[in-house]
Structure 1
């Protein structure tokens, strides 16, 4: 069994993709769809699954309702051009013998470009501001010896506030890393 292909271009082996490389990858709609599907699945998938989803999005149908000719057009394009380009850029590992595709950590570079206007965003700034305001009120209550708050020591209050900020930051990080819309941005209506 052949191992996953390594990126061929030494200049692409850097940990970060340049802005030009990112835009080059994203210039093709089929490549954007493939990146979106791979980022959403975030595991090893079959080439056929990528083909089915890209073709379904392109033809505005479901993978099960695709016509053979539609699937074939997308398959050829992905096989000859787009998947090899993603593998060469180090965005995916592609085993040509088994047809398995595995996204690498570099695929996260595209999150800011592909999901900027479509990802359901939580009002994180409000959560941080609310936690800050609550912390200020807690410390002011301790300082002026307000009864319900005075049962806490300064140490417990500071530890509680630091823990709350840490949990909020961890949740925020997890959310932004793991929230990928079901469909590519091109399929979302701009009127929503």
Structure 2
């Protein structure tokens, strides 16, 4: 993914109200997320197709939905993101890409798909599993107590370490700026 470097005329960071306004709309959030995942500039048609697919769950999405998404992106959402210098939107060429300012918005976007859980929930689950396992060893429950508390302690430490390593690796692909 590439991010267009801009020599910004705007001074300072985005206001909290501007960030909230950007993120409160699903189409703007989907646009930023899809641009972040893209490997370079993206056409408005491709973005509209993607967002229409997400909204309808159909691939390809119905033509009227795709057209509705395209019009709202072209007339409302992309000009707003361009004005805030989050994306570079070339209306004549119908091409857009993220700008450096997108980083200010990205920190508020934890992207968790509908079928997924957040990392915070995952680590909470692993912690609960650890407590339950260690209590089971303490109270000599059949299968668990055979291995002893030392084994389970090392197992849980390794599980946390491997999870944190994978978490760190997987988050790198979502970083806008390295």
Tell me which residue corresponds to 1:159.
Answer: none
Taking a change above 3 Å as real, the CA distance of residues 17 and 177 of structure 1, as seen in their structure-2 partners, is farther
**Does the CA contact (< 8 Å) of 1:22 and 1:110 recur in 2?**
yes
- Unpaired segments ≥5 residues, structure 2: 124-166
CA distance in 1 between partners of 2:51 and 2:7 (Å)? 23
Structure 2 residue matching 1:14: 3-state secondary structure: coil
Q: Does residue 1:43 correspond to 2:40, yes or no?
A: yes
Q: Does residue 1:99 correspond to 2:94, yes or no?
A: yes
Note the aligned Cα RMSD (angstroms). Answer: 3.1
CA distance in 2 between partners of 1:26 and 1:20 (Å)? 10
Alignment of 1:29-108 (within 5 A): 29-41=26-38, 43-62=40-59, 65-108=60-103
Taking a change above 3 Å as real, the CA distance of residues 23 and 57 of structure 1, as seen in their structure-2 partners, is same
Taking a change above 3 Å as real, the CA distance of residues 72 and 117 of structure 1, as seen in their structure-2 partners, is closer
TM-score, L = length of structure 2: 0.58
The C-alpha deviation readout for 1:108-142, integer Å capped at 9, x for no partner, is: 2233322165686497xxxxxxxxxxxxxxxxxxx
Corresponding residue pairs, total: 125
Q: Which has the larger radius of gyration?
A: 1
CA distance in 1 between partners of 2:174 and 2:94 (Å)? 27
CA distance in 2 between partners of 1:17 and 1:177 (Å)? 24
CA distance in 2 between partners of 1:21 and 1:42 (Å)? 26
The structure showing larger relative contact order (alpha-carbon pairs under 8 Å, at least 6 residues apart) is 1
**Does the CA contact (< 8 Å) of 1:7 and 1:87 recur in 2?**
no
Tell me which residue corresponds to 1:153.
Answer: none
**Does the CA contact (< 8 Å) of 1:7 and 1:90 recur in 2?**
no
CA distance in 1 between partners of 2:39 and 2:25 (Å)? 21
CA distance in 2 between partners of 1:18 and 1:42 (Å)? 28
